[in-house]
Structure 1
Amino acid sequence: MDTQQEQQQKILEKPIINITGEKVALGPIRRDQIPIYHRWINDFAVLRTLHIPRPSTLEEIQAYFDKDVEEERQRRVIHFTVYERTTLTPIGRVDLEEISYRDRRAEFGIEIGEADYRGRGYGTEATRLMLDYAFTGLGLHNIGLQTWEYNLAAQAAYKKAGFREVGRRRQCKFMGGQLWDIVYMDCLSTEFVSPVLSKIMVPDEIRS
């Protein structure tokens, strides 16, 4: 039988979950997951669709984590860890950045760091849950993103989640020996149906 200390440790190890879908769940980013984030950001297959591929030190990722926490405290960004729902294995992150509560807009970002979970619908559902949070939880109206013309899988997932293409900046991303467009996409709250939070964020009924 587990001791009380072992039981408490298991409780501490189990991640807090804020939003639960069919395939994934979203919870707060955690300092003890920095080594996982560090491994993801050093995977050039991940960086191919995000930034210029280069090695990142653990100290650099720790500094980024501290910056993320501070910006969250100031309500300028929101970060979630993405978990596989049944095992609670961390598989990626989703973010809202450049949040303007006055203008009711923000920028969306996603990273599925675990290769085994790419192309299987996890990113699509994580995107939908983040849109649900942005629209239903925060009351935002326009969520935008940018991706690269060659990232066809991401564009398909974004469209399936509710985004649509709204414009391009031509031939300004170099990859694989040629220049590609930046694709701009967005989603409006009026174009989105809440899958989860509309059932949770409701006013109390008057009791007789």
Structure 2
Amino acid sequence: MFSSQRISLRKVDRTDAEKYHIWRNDMEVMSYTNLSLDQYTIEDTQHFVESVLMDASSSKSYMIVDNEENLSIGITSLIHIDGKNRNAECIIDIGEKQYWGNGYGKEALSLLLDFAFNELNLHRISLNVFSFNKRAIHVYQSLGFIQEGTSRQALFRNGQWHDIIQMGILQAEWSNN
């Protein structure tokens, strides 16, 4: 659907449930993005993929695919899409850890933001990020996201309290990026 030299984004389908299930139950992967860190059965994941990632009218979810290897390496979504107010929230998980720190997340979000602002004509995209996820914060800032707020000590992880940072970017800010 959308592609760059290294990656493509394609719609999530039922066959992605097994791969997503592996990522969803990998505590190292989820510790950076998931509040609850629950363990899920394959049935739970299949239901989630079908009812939330594929069929929800207020979200659009895409697998991030390494073009060279033809390997799904993560997932990115626009969620809580509000057509009236032209805004949405974005999320991203790079599930294949060997791809961490190599710019794939930034590349995927660039494709997603292009789609959100240029095709869907959204006005604003927001996200939440855990304060200890410094790599992600750096990527978001480099894409033009601005910190808009902080939920202080809203996450207890590894014996410590952490903030959840709210960030946002406007269509006009992305156009100037």
TM-score range, shorter-chain basis? Answer: over 0.9
Moved over 3 A (4+): none
Instruction: Specify the code of the residue in structure 2 equivalent to 1:177.
Output: G
Residue type at the aligned position of 1:179: W
Match of 1:140 among 106, 122, 129: 122
1:203 paired residue number: none
Residue of 97, 101, 111 corresponding to 2:79: 97
| Pair 1:64 & 2:44 matched | no
Cross-structure match for 2:97:
115
Secondary structure class of the residue paired with 2:55: helix
Deviations 1:145-181 (A, max 9, x none): 0111111111111112221211111111111211111
Structure 2: 5+ residue stretches without partners: none
Closer, same or farther in 2 for the Cα pair 1:83/1:131, shift >3 Å?
A: same
Report the CA distance shift for 1:20/1:194 in structure 2 as closer, same or farther (over 3 A).
Answer: farther
Report the residue type matching 1:32 in the other structure.
T
SS at 2:46 equivalent: helix
Matches of 1:132 and 1:177, distance apart in 2: 38
State how many pairs are aligned: 175
Aligned alpha-carbon RMSD (Å): 1.4
Whole-angstrom distance in 2 between the partners of 1:179 and 1:171: 5
TM-score of the superposition, structure 2-length normalised? 0.94
- Distance (Å, rounded) in 2 between the aligned partners of 1:164 and 1:89: 32
Match of 1:171 among 149, 153, 172: 153
Alpha-carbon deviation of 1:33? 1.8
Residue 80 of structure 1, aligned match among 62, 78, 82: 62
Q: CA deviation at 1:194?
A: 8.6
Q: Give the drift of 1:47.
A: 1.3
CA spacing shift, 1:28–1:161, aligned 2, 3 Å: same
Report the equivalent of 1:24: 7
1:50, 1:142 → 2: CA distance?
21
Deviation at 1:50, TM superposition (A): 2.0
Aligned to 2:32: 49
Instruction: Give distance in 1, aligned partners of 2:167 and 2:22.
Output: 28
Moved more, 125-134 or 159-168: 159-168
Report the Cα distance in structure 1 between the residues aligned to 2:60 and 2:73, rounded to whole angstroms. 17
SS at match of 1:61: helix
Q: Is the 8 A contact 1:125 1:161 kept in 2?
A: no
CA change 1:99–1:140 in 2 (3 A) is same
Kindly indicate which of the two structures has a greater share of residues assigned to strand.
2
SS at match of 2:61: strand
TM-score when scaled to structure 1?
A: 0.80
Q: Which runs of 5+ in 1 are unaligned?
A: 1-17, 196-208
